Chains A and B, each alone.
Chain A
Amino acid sequence: MSRLDALLSRAARLGRLLGRPAGLAVVAGAVLVALAGHPYLSRPEAAALERGRRAAAFWATLPASPGRTLSGLDPAFAGGSGGRPGPALAEAVSAGLEALVRSGPADLRAGRLATAAAGALLTLLLAVLGHAVAGRAGGLLAPALFWLAPRTLAAGLAAGPDVAAAALWLLVAWAYRRALVGGDRAARMRAAALSGACFGLALAVRADSVLLLAALALHAAGAAAFAWHPHTPVPPTRSTGPDLEARLHGVPAPIAAMLVLGPTVAFAASPWLWPAPVARVLAALAPAPPAAWPSGPLAVLAFATPGAVLWIWAGGFALAGARALRAPVRRDRDPGASSDDALLAALALAGLAGGALGLAPRGPGLGPVLPALPFLSLVGARGLVAAAHATVPTWPRRAVAALAVVALAPGAIAAARARPLTSAWSELAGGAPGAASRGLPRQDGGEGARAALADVAARARPGARIRFVGVAPEAVRAWAARGLLRPDLAVADGDDEADVAVVAVDGGSRDAEYQTRAALRADRPVAGVYVDEVPLALVYARAGAWR
């Protein structure tokens, strides 16, 4: 066998693997794990890791000394996502996994493994649901539409609750759908129980997951009112147990399960709720003040998502909404398809509403609206496949492939170019320069300062003390452990004792930077990190400290 044959055979095997949801999930997980060791650790990610370690320590010591552990409950769960109180299940799982595999302070990959696992689960569900709503092409397109953009990829490569929340939202939707259209009554009841349990876990990951219940209840009401009902009549075979569905008086079983199991699971998995459940739930759900436009997660969604992907999401969402609303008028349509359209559109809307109304924890980038994006990817895949079939009915597969390649290429190129990924802005924003002109954040929280270390290593005088402003201390420790910081350089705690300062420029307040400049008596930076001329970090030095 020639080398070419071997290569083709290997490519065919990879193609077959990618054609299956499980294979696709494994590949996505492997890619996320491979890329997760990057050194761009932001302040929000470091805060999530720290919070997770405290929560994991709480769980680890709870069985041995419950009384003493419970007395330290509040400090263990203080400082939720975005500075608001909230549950911390995803962070605790990340920290638990990190404790098992971490090799040292240089190992940033360990803290991100849980996110990679959630990313693999998300890919699996996207492929399964994409296949269900748009055929084989949909099974490939939906994960690609989600992952091949710099900001969603960045979310998959950082520790935090957002990817886990997105995966759980999708899992709840899948289980809910199975509970409505499942084969027999037992299977439907199992799916309903799964949806309830996963809803509880979603609540324990992010409190704004309560919007899931609202969206699914709305869908159930719409299904009853507009004849979306996707139930297929099933003969009552093998139904030996009590008919729970009949006893629910018309309330769909998954909704009932979410109402009963959801709070139970969430309470059990969120020790933070134990002292005062009602008050703390209300505190976690109190809307944060909405961010002024253009800032906040919707601005990041509009300006950081590649234009073609945004267009596909919007078009797919419009198509799904139109089909769902048209179903009651045209009774000849497939009720199951209309139900799927309505379900995906309602969940996408719920995810976006959580970010827009300030119910989601205020995090960097797309985090607050991330649970909406898998649903937008699903409706987008469905819309793109439908458009290709309608436009080129003779070669629909080739049309889908061509459209997909053209639509996904800009995101893939941007993801390959951007370092760090959180500084990537689309052509709709005018790139990083356009985003800076609009006052949008330039990075999540100081991670771009990593690129200044080469200059510092080359030109700081021997033994200089380096002050990092706007950078997570854990990131500095990881850089030092990796050898990115020259061994003779020391880290300064204050401006007065520093010789050189590396200052992250996020796009927010720069008061700390200016005070550092004044302390160093340095008006001009001696080096900088720029993305398309937009500064991410500037280096200042005292006289004589820079060679």
Chain B
Amino acid sequence: MSPDPHTPGGDGRRGRPPGLIGTAAREAAAEVADTTRTRIARARAAAASAWQGRPPLARALALAFALGTLALGAAGAAWPVVLARRLPSALDWAAAAALLERDARPGDAVVVSPPWAERARELLPAGAPVLQRPRLAGEDLPGVRRVWLLSLRGLPGRRAVDAGLAARGAGSLLTLRLGSLELARHDLADPLLPLAFLPDRVDSLSVSTGGVDCEQDGAAFRCTPPPAGADAIGPSEPAARPPPGAATVRVERTLREVDGAPRACLSVEPGGPLATPLVLDFPAVTVGRVLRGHVGLAGEAPRGAPPVVRVSVQIDGEEAGAAEVPLLGWAAFQIDTSRFAARSRDIALVLTSARPAGALCLDAVTAP
């Protein structure tokens, strides 16, 4: 049904003539519309006039250049003040230290974001060890159940660490703001709790190469491989006398930089290719379902194709498995040891490489 155009009110719903309020409202609306139209027309005229009277391109560019100079100069002069307000104060650091002193417990670790903010390592309590990691994605974090994420909120470079924690499914359970610092506790969804960390068992370690036992030199081992061809493994074989000046292998428990982070590991410096297998014997190690380890090149990453190291895991003299590991970053390997699990056994890691590989950093854990 269409409205009757002759009926006052027009829409057919109301038969009464408009009252005083309706008329006033209609007039007011018409006036507002008129005013708006006038203003738009005026603005258009002003814009057209401004466009007509615009400066020549050269002057406009000069003006933009001068304004840019002023803006950047002012921003640069204000920058030290802006930055100083974003940095944590001594009080902020003290508050974070006190809180961690009170709440941290064994199995906790602190991750600093951005990772270069290493004052935390100096100021935080010893009970809350700081993990130096540029990113957390792909890191095993053995023995860590809870991570305290200490963020310097106003500073750049926090994305990698924050994203790494999120990828582990470790939601923040507690977040506290301490001035310019922020402390958040994350419980790791799937922590790696090792039965044994092999580099820490260096006291009972024995090292041999080509059947020749290596000499212990302080905290390190010095091995002189036999000449090529005499590559038999095992103490029962007669040891060949090494030629004078033969390359030596040095093995020690130390801390090396691999993939941009410090790694507690056994450092193996072969001084050439590991043509003769290097055997690292760890007696009486509790074995779980897997042996998980990492190997990488210490120091600067090499250019070109990475060398490959073969890591063979022998348990009680029987090979449990082996992995060919390209030395690219902190490369992980994992061997299934479930058939040897739940007992204390002798583990031997046997390393070989065809190409010279520089200083290797090797760690391994047995895990349930």
Contact = CB atoms under 8 A, between A and B. Distances in A.
**Chain A binding site: helix, strand, loop or mixed by DSSP?**
helix
A368 interface: no
B88 interface: yes
Interface residues of B, number: 43
Interface in A465-515: 505, 509-511, 513-515
A293 interface: no
A526 B122 contact: yes
A406 interface: yes
Contacts of A526: 122
A312 B299 contact: no
Contacts of B83: 431, 433, 532
Name the residue among A387, A434, A505, A538 with the largest chain B CB count within 10 angstroms: A387
A37 interface: no
Interface string A376-420: 000000011011111100000001000100111111011001000
A534 interface: yes
B152 A524 contact: no
A406 B74 contact: yes
Contacts of B255: 514-515, 517-518
B156 A430 contact: yes
Interface string A64-96: 000000000000000000000000000000000
Contact of A509 (B69, B253, B300): B300
A413 B298 contact: no
A436 B116 contact: yes
A534 B118 CA distance: 7
Name the residue among B73, B157, B299 with the largest chain A CB count within 10 angstroms: B73
A390 B300 CA distance: 53
B298 A383 contact: no
A534 B152 CA distance: 12
B256 interface: yes
A535 B66 contact: no
Contacts of A403: 66, 69-70, 73
Contact of B65 (A383, A533, A535): A383
A294 interface: no
B75 A538 contact: no
A530 interface: yes
B66 A387 contact: yes
Contacts of B284: none
A315 interface: yes
Contact of B76 (A387, A426, A538): A426
Interface of B: 58-59, 62-63, 65-66, 68-70, 72-77, 79-80, 83, 87-88, 114, 116-119, 121-122, 126, 129-130, 152, 155-157, 253-257, 262, 298-300
A389 to B, nearest CB: 8
Contact of A410 (B77, B254, B300): B77
Contacts of A523: 121, 129
B114 A437 contact: yes
B254 A518 contact: yes
A535 B119 contact: yes
B63 A391 contact: yes
Nearest to A315: B65
Nearest to A525: B122
B59 A308 contact: no
B62 A538 contact: no
13 contacts: A306-B72, A403-B69, A410-B76, A413-B76, A434-B155, A434-B156, A438-B157, A511-B256, A525-B122, A526-B122, A530-B119, A533-B88, A538-B122
A154 B332 CA distance: 44
A58 B70 CA distance: 52
Contact of B58 (A390, A430, A532): A390
A427 B87 CA distance: 15
B126 to A, nearest CB: 7
A431 B116 CA distance: 14
A431 B79 contact: yes
Contacts of A534: 116-117
B326 to A, nearest CB: 20
Given A311-B69, A410-B79, A523-B129, 15 more contacts: A307-B72, A307-B75, A384-B65, A386-B62, A387-B62, A399-B66, A403-B69, A409-B73, A426-B76, A433-B116, A505-B118, A518-B253, A519-B254, A524-B126, A534-B117
A514 B66 contact: no
Nearest to A390: B62
A485 B357 CA distance: 40
B254 to A, nearest CB: 4
